[in-house]
C-alpha cells in the first residue's frame, strides 16, 4: 500500500471522471490516455520512449509486485530498461504494490517519485480500457480536481525530437557496422543487433543521408519512436533517399511507418492502438502465427504500391504488421521483434535482416 494517500482523479476529455488515490509524485499529469494488457514488464514499458507524452493504464490488477531493479549495462547497452528515464507522463493502475524481488533496488512507487511522475491507483482499469475501446483514445489528466483543463494536442507535438539522442554514439564490436537511426529507440533493439556481432553507430533522428552514409554502414535500422509520424516529413525524405542505395534496411514500429510513407502509403491514427505483449501476427508466406509485442497508435492503411509486399498481418484486425520491398532490400515490422518484454517469436525479423546484410556484404566483394 502507498505510504502517502491523497485523493486524486483521472479526468478524460469526454468528461468521464475516475476517482482514485495518488502514488509516486504528487504533481499533476496530462497526456494521451492509452492502455496495455501486458501482465508484466512494467519497468520496460514505463521506460519505453514510444510512450512519451502518454498516460499509461495497465489493465493487470496488481502492478509493482517485483519492484524496480538496478540498471544493468553490457557493452554500453541497457539490458533491463529501455531508456535511462521513465517516459510516460503518468501511470494508472488498479492496485499498486510494494513487492520486491532479489534484484529489486526500489519500489515502483519510489521510482515514480524519484522521477517526478505521478500515478493514480484504485482505478477500474479494465472498465477504463473498455471505455477507450468504445470511444477511442483521448486526452486526460491526473489531478486533485475533477475539472478537465485543456491540454496540449498530442498529435501536433514532435516527441521524437525530445527523445532522440543529439550526437552519434558508437558501440564497437567485431563485425561490420550497422547504422541505427534513433527516433526514440528501445535499447533492446541495440542489444539484439549487437548480439549478432555487429558494430553499431547510433544516429539522431535528423541525421541526413550524407551523414548516415559517411559511416559506410552495411545495414540501416530505423527504430521505434513516439508521436505522430505525419510530423516527420524531413525524416521520411531521408528514408526515401537511403532506400535508393539498396543497403539492407530494417524498419521497426515507427521505422516501418516511415518506410511506408516514403513508399507512398497512407498512415492513419488507430481508434485505440495495439499495446500488449501477446498479440498474434501471421507471417503470410508461411501461414505461421507469431506471438508478438506491440506499442503503436498509428498504422499503415490504403492501397499497396507495386513492389511492396505485405509480409505480416495482425490476427486481431488485419492491420499491416510487416512489409518487404525487395528492389530496395527493405524489411519492416510494425511489432517489436526485440520483445522486451514478450516472447522471442519476432526475433526471426532480425535473422532475416542479418541474412540480408550478409548477402549485401558478399555482393560487394
Residues identified as active-site: 253, 336, 338
Contact, 168 vs 199, CB < 8 A? no
Contact, 289 vs 282, CB < 8 A? yes
Distances (CA, A) of 17 to 2, 122, 146: 22, 13, 7
Measuring CA to CA, which residue among 71, 65, 79, 68 is closest to residue 104? Answer: 68
**Strand 7-12 versus strand 17-24 pairing type:** antiparallel
- What is d(CA 91, CA 24) in angstroms, rounded to the nearest whole number? 9
DSSP character for 154? Answer: G
Name the grid cell of 293.
509485442
Measuring CA to CA, which residue among 32, 64, 39, 19 is closest to residue 343? Answer: 39
What phi and psi, each to the nearest 5 degrees, are found at residue 244?
Answer: -70, -15
- What is d(CA 160, CA 203) in angstroms, rounded to the nearest whole number? 13
364 three-state secondary structure: helix
| Dihedral sign for Cα atoms in the order 163, 164, 166, 168 | positive
What phi and psi, each to the nearest 5 degrees, are found at residue 6?
Answer: -130, 140
**Strand 54-58 versus strand 90-92 pairing type:** parallel
Measuring CA to CA, which residue among 313, 303, 305 is closest to residue 333? Answer: 313
- What is d(CA 312, CA 320) in angstroms, rounded to the nearest whole number? 6
60 three-state secondary structure: coil
- What is d(CA 347, CA 335) in angstroms, rounded to the nearest whole number? 11
Amino acid at each position: 500500500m502507498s505510504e502517502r494517500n491523497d485523493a486524486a482523479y483521472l479526468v478524460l476529455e469526454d468528461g468521464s471522471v475516475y476517482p482514485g488515490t495518488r502514488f509516486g509524485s504528487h504533481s499533476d499529469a496530462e497526456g494521451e490516455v492509452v492502455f496495455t494488457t501486458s501482465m508484466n514488464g512494467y519497468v520496460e514499458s514505463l521506460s519505453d520512449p514510444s510512450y512519451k507524452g502518454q498516460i499509461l493504464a495497465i489493465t493487470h490488477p496488481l502492478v509493482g509486485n517485483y519492484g524496480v531493479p538496478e540498471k544493468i549495462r553490457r557493452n554500453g547497452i541497457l539490458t533491463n530498461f529501455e531508456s535511462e528515464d521513465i517516459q510516460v507522463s503518468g501511470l494508472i493502475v488498479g492496485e499498486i504494490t510494494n513487492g520486491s524481488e532479489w534484484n529489486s533496488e526500489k519500489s515502483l512507487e519510489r521510482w515514480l517519485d524519484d522521477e517526478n511522475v505521478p500515478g493514480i491507483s484504485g482505478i477500474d482499469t479494465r472498465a477504463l480500457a473498455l471505455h477507450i475501446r468504445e470511444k477511442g483514445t483521448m486526452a486526460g489528466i491526473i489531478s486533485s480536481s475533477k475539472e478537465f483543463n485543456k491540454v496540449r494536442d498530442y498529435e501536433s507535438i514532435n516527441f521524437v525530437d525530445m527523445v532522440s539522442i543529439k550526437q552519434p554514439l558508437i558501440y564497437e564490436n567485431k563485425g561490420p557496422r550497422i547504422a541505427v537511426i534513433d527516433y526514440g529507440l528501445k535499447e533492446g533493439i541495440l542489444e539484439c543487433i549487437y548480439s549478432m556481432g555487429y558494430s553499431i553507430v547510433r544516429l539522431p533522428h535528423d541525421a541526413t543521408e550524407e551523414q548516415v552514409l559517411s559511416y559506410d554502414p552495411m545495414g540501416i535500422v530505423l527504430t521505434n519512436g513516439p508521436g505522430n509520424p505525419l510530423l516527420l516529413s524531413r525524416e521520411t525524405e531521408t528514408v526515401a533517399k537511403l532506400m535508393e542505395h539498396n543497403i539492407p534496411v530494417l524498419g521497426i514500429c515507427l521505422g516501418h511507418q516511415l518506410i511506408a510513407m516514403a513508399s507512398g502509403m497512407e498512415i492513419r491514427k488507430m481508434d485505440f492502438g495495439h499495446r500488449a505483449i501477446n498479440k498474434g501476427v501471421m507471417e503470410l508466406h508461411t501461414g505461421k502465427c507469431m506471438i508478438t509485442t506491440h506499442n503503436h497508435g498509428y498504422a499503415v492503411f490504403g492501397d499497396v504500391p507495386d513492389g511492396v509486399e505485405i509480409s505480416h498481418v495482425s490476427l486481431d484486425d488485419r492491420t499491416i504488421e510487416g512489409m518487404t520491398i525487395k528492389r530496395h532490400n527493405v524489411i519492416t515490422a510494425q511489432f517489436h521483434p526485440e520483445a522486451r518484454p514478450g516472447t522471442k517469436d519476432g526475433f526471426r525479423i532480425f535473422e532475416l535482416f542479418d541474412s540480408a546484410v550478409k548477402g549485401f556484404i558478399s555482393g560487394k566483394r
